[in-house]
Structure 1
Amino acid sequence: MHPSRGSNSSHQHLLRDEDTQVNYGAVTSAAGVLLSQADADKTNASLRTKIDLAVLPTVAMLFFLSSLDKSNISNAAVAGLLEDLHMSEAQYSTALMVTLIPYSTAQFATNLIMKVVGPRTLLPTLAILWGFTCAVQGFVTNYEGLLACRFFLGLFEGGLLPGITLYLSTFYPRQRLQLRGSIVLSAVTVASAFSGLLAAAIMRIDGLANKPGWAWLFILEGLFTVAFGGACYILLPNTPMSLSFLTEADKRHIVQKLHEEGTILADEPDEHLNLVEIGRTFIRPHVLLVSIAGFLNGATVSGLGYFLPLILTGLGYHGRDAQLMSVPPFAVAAVCAITASFFSDRYGQRGLMMIVSGMVATVGFAIFLASYTNLVRYAALFLLVPASFCVAPPLGTWAVNNSAPFARRATALALVSGMTNIGAVLATWLFAMSPAPRYTSATIVLLVFQVAVVVCATANRLWLAHENRRKEKLRQASGLTSAPEHGPDSVMEAGDNSIWYKFVL
């Protein structure tokens, strides 16, 4: 390879995946000095780290606050919400369902709106709106008022996760995306763990200003979200072009790399943003299989997120102890999800990660179902909770990795996320209709769901491998050695239909 021209040539391979990086030899530095591959890799890693620091903390905090504000109702339920509002367990499940219905349907619109207004406008605005709604929950005095708040909370939070995933896909190539997505998604487990600690602390101000502790839980967490949402108008870069520390050469390379994968930036025009491209997404086998897996795993993850404190009550823990004992399984889940995603990115294996995680979760549910010893059942949570959460990161990433152009990618993300939340709606009734403390019927259903996740991931992996082999034959028959930059066969024009678009397994 010939050295790159220009004073910033050492940065020219920013964000290349590992398989691409190892094919490059020496790189020329700004001073004209020939750098070794190791030095070039260090330079690239340093630049990636800067981009990570500019983007990931902000979006991870947004999702952390979203998860905290959505799931803190489970902590409030243990802290006296049900008694104070004279609610039954069935009404509690209804309140959860009312949140999830708009949460599941808002995502299609918000993903397309983000293309118009930009992520730096949309994502902070959503945060301010749901944060305010969360705080209002602290002032409700009846069940009907709570239902109204939960509806708008779901409506404003619904577009966040697919919006963030779509946003990150405009900063990182496909092989670098899952680890970043996993870091963001780990906010769910951190929020689930932290909510127990935070709830235990806030309960100490129970009675302040004649308000119960659960009311202060909603008020304080909601107001913090509003404040952080306002700060995000400044903190959140709109596109890689907004990052001042990148050179013009760096920015050109990022755009070129993303365009090679069919990615269009938030502020670029998109001729394929139409109903035809949106409709085609719904007949793509790999999108449908991942969406079904999202529904199945969504029921599992949401069921655990909403009901784990109540499950722990059935294992003999009460009040603050139940809040605190929910922390370790979720903390382990966060570490496992990030670790597994690191290897998934490194080796490009989304489906394999889902298959292994689904198997481990199945074993965990089987132990929880079969045992009558509380200590063993609590230990089983350290299998089923981390493994279930490890399935979540590759779901959205797999959909993004294998969908182009923007309209298909946005729709695929919304479909996977929407199906995940429909599964969450089911989970609210699974546990409500399953007698405590064993929750036998709910456990059986979620065990079967994890087996089905393994089946979906295996089938999807086989289909994608078949498509890659078919495209490889067509590429050889074309007589071309590289993908055309323009024209009907280019990735930018044909999207994932292009024979040059390789699906990630």
Structure 2
Amino acid sequence: MNMDTAFDSKANAPISPHVSSSSTAVFAHDAQPLLHKIDIRILPILAWLYLLLLMDRVNIGNAKILGLEASLNMKDGDYGITISLLLLAQILFMVPANLTMRKISPSLWLGGLCVCWGKDAEGLITLGTGFVKTFAGLCVCRFFLGMIEGAYHSGFLYFMSMYYKRYELQRRFNIVFCGAILAGAISGLFAYACAQLDGRAGLEGWRWIFIVEGLITIASGISTIFVLPDWPNDGNFLQGEEKILLDNRLNEDVQEAKMDRFDAAALKLILSDWKIYCSSIMFFFSANSGYSLVFFLPTVLRGLGWTANRAQVMTIPVYVTAMVVTLITAWISDGIQHRFSFVLIGVAFGIIGYSILLVPGLPYNIQYMAIYFSAAGFYVAQPLLLIWATNNWAGHYKRAVATALITGLGNCGGFISSNVYREEDAPRYQLGFGFTLAGVVVIGIAGVVFFFGLRAENRKRSRGSRLHLLDLPEHDRDNLGDAHPDFRFSY
């Protein structure tokens, strides 16, 4: 069976066959300077902010092994509570935040969030965490941090999807996502440096992590307000002809599939979309894997016999390797316009890694190798899952709400990781690794369902089985989103 047959390339076409190949070629040729301009202006800013966001999130894992729990007189299970509170706030505020962002300029919204997580919420929340005296104070800081992070996490992906066509988005998202990977590497090195400040100004080393990161985040947020572009048709970032070209390219990608009104009919279409729930299942278990790495990797490495500072440093090559793998898979995935098989590659890496970690008594170098597989599996699969899902939604409000829903529902996986990675199981975490392994298998199964479901729907549309929707009143027909018969799903 050849590649075209296996992936049903005609059904996988990203646009309706009504668009001529010559017009597509012209758009592609003319768009290169435009894409370069957008890339240079947007990607470095978003990647830097994402790096800061993840550093501010994972710094609690580094602070934990530098004495956070002892300083605040925390009991067993308290660390998991702080993680759960952050995740709860993320889940509650993702959808309202994206709907709000639709009405506000992205530069003010995303930059303001960064200032908040640097000043009132995340920068003073992160900054303020360095001065908390009690466990209750830490809980308050982590909850408000989760509010701001949830708004940013779902917002920046929605923002990117308004500038790029579907098969231009994966590699660019992964460049931004590398900020998250670098955060894992840099946070360990950063924590090591901050540990050397232990005792300065009468503060423990773990407090300096939050203080310095908070100050950096505040400054970055203020700068973002002035340099990040707004929506494509707003502001002076793009000139008149560039705006027209970008609008034509995006319309070519989705055809008549629009959702520019958020009314009862639109909400019904969104909430009845099986794709949201299937992708949420995949993201749920992917998030469980990711949070287990983010919050517990330093502790696992310390359990291999290394000192706290050595464990921080040994996280760096794990994240650097994961970054290289995720960039390679993104470029290939966009190049051949295919997602499904690469998700399965990430699943395979995860199964190998967590299976090895479950085996007792293995030499530390074998366990360390298994962590590489586990990290590579997560950092390959999760960005692909997000973009695969986003590729299959059309319309402003569909993308805004659906993106927030899957990231919100998916982040519930973090609740599991904070409870199955129990203190009494450290550093082997047999229960945690076992649950995460089972979750990786579920990702693979749900991915197969997603793939065949999308392919079946494309075939129905190619046979004309959805043409009856064109008989709807114009008011309803123009707000169908990806339910429009001309839209083709990608996989």
If the length of structure 2 is used for normalisation, what is the TM-score? 0.89
Q: How does 1:210-221 map to 2 (within 5 A)?
A: 210-221=202-213
Q: Deviations over 1:315-359 (max 9, x none)?
A: 111211010011111111112112111111122222222122112
- After superposition, the Cα gap between the structure-2 partners of 1:244 and 1:119, relative to the gap in structure 1 and judged at 3 Å, is closer
Q: Distance in 1 between matches of 2:308 and 2:446?
A: 39
- Give distance in 2, aligned partners of 1:476 and 1:61: 43
Q: Which residue of 2 aligns with 1:67?
A: 54
Equivalent position to 2:289, from 291, 294, 300: 300
Q: Unpaired runs of 5+ in structure 1?
A: 1-15, 28-36
Equivalence for 1:6 = none
| Aligned residue in 2 for 1:354 | 343
CA distance, structure 2, for counterparts of residue 420 and residue 61 of structure 1: 24
Match of 1:7 in 2: none
Residues 207-260 of structure 1: per-residue CA shift (max 9 Å, x gap): 111111111110110111011101111111002345756442221021122234
Q: Is the 8 A contact 1:203 1:213 kept in 2?
A: yes
Q: 1:112 to 1:263 in 2, by over 3 A?
A: farther
2:3 matched residue in structure 1: none
Report 1:125-144 matches (<5 A): 125-131=112-118, 132-144=124-136
Give the fraction of aligned pairs with identical amino acids, expressed as a percent.
Answer: 28
- Aligned pairs (5 A) from 1:88-487: 88-131=75-118, 132-241=124-233, 244=236, 246-262=238-254, 271-370=260-359, 372-432=362-422, 435-474=425-464, 487=474
- Partner Cα separation in structure 2 for residue 251 and residue 313 of structure 1: 52
- CA shift, 1:20, in A, is 12
The separation in 2 between residues aligned to 1:345 and 1:335, in whole angstroms, is 16
Deviation per residue, 1:172-211 (Å, 9 max, x gap)? 0111111111112221111011000011111111111111
Residues of 1 paired with 2:467 and 2:88: CA distance?
A: 48
Partner of 1:504 in structure 2?
Answer: 490
3-state SS of the aligned residue for 2:77?
helix
How many residue pairs were aligned? 468
Query: C-alpha deviations, 1:274-312, integer Å up to 9, x for none?
Result: 243234323212221111001011000011100000011
8 Å contact kept, 2:88–2:146: yes
Question: Where do 5+ consecutive residues of structure 2 fail to align?
Answer: 1-13, 119-123
CA distance in 2, matches of 1:20, 1:213: 62
Q: Is the 8 A contact 1:104 1:422 kept in 2?
A: yes
Change (3 A) 1:313 1:22: farther
Q: Which amino acid counterpart does residue 384 of structure 1 have in structure 2?
A: S
Q: TM-score if structure 1 supplies the norm length?
A: 0.87
For residues 488 and 46 of structure 1, the distance between their equivalents in structure 2, rounded to whole angstroms, comes to: 36
Q: Deviation per CA, 1:404-459: give whole Å up to 9, x if none.
A: 22222212111110122110111111112661221111111111110110001111
Q: Encode CA deviations 1:45-97: one digit per residue, 9 max, x unaligned.
A: 34322210111111111111110001101111111111111113411111111
Counterpart Cα distance in 2 of 1:25 and 1:296: 41
Please say if residues 170 and 263 of structure 1, whose CA atoms lie closer than 8 Å, have aligned partners that are also in contact: no
Contact 1:202 1:213 in 2 (8 A): yes
Contact 2:259-2:480 within 8 A present in 1 as well: no
* Distance in 2, Cα, partners of 1:22 & 1:275: 35
Q: Secondary structure at the match of 1:326?
A: helix
For 2:424 and 2:397, locate their aligned partners in 1 and report how far apart those are by CA, in whole Å: 41
Q: Which moved more, 1:405-414 or 1:198-207?
A: 405-414
Aligned partners of 2:295 and 2:18: how far apart in 1?
42
